[in-house]
Amino acid sequence: VQLQASGGGLVQAGGSLRLSCLASVHSFSTYVMGWFRRAPGKEREFVAAINRNQYGSTSYSDSVKGRFTISRDNAKNAVYLQMNSLEPEDTAVYYCAAGRGVIQSARADPGAYAYWGQGTLVTVSS
């Protein structure tokens, strides 16, 4: 499984970005997909996750709820993260991750995901 994240960049506070993650894998629809981030000097943290189905249930961290939206297109082997109302605190490297059999209560646990992309940098200026 290979995951390729893209879409990061520099944006002013209040702006928007859309991250994409393309998966090179058979049976993409069998994987729960997640987004995590690592800010400078901080540990990796959960951002959002989406269940296997095209319109699967979603989970968000409290810090992004209401501002970020995760979605997926199983026909394109892709997962997206629409980020609105960005804040300087959102500055981080964002990683997509894939896992099978990830139960809802474990979606925020990085250890539940077997595969990781290389990350894409998001910088939000104040």
pLDDT of residue 59: 96
pLDDT of residue 106: 93
**Using the 8-state DSSP alphabet, how is residue 52 labeled?**
S
> Which is it for strands 44-50 and 58-60: parallel, antiparallel or unpaired?
antiparallel
In the predicted structure, residue 55 carries a pLDDT above the cut 80: no
Contacts by 49-53, CB closer than 8 A, 24 or more apart: 49/102, 49/107, 49/108, 50/79, 51/104, 53/29
pLDDT of residue 39: 96
Reported confidence tier of residue 56, pLDDT bands at 50, 70, 90: confident
pLDDT tens-digit readout, 67-108: 999 999 999 999 999 999 999 999 999 999 999 999 999 999
Residue 40 and residue 91 in contact, taking contact as beta carbons nearer than 8 Å: yes
Q: What are φ and ψ of residue 28, in 5° steps?
A: -55, -35
Percentage, residues of the chain above pLDDT 70: 99
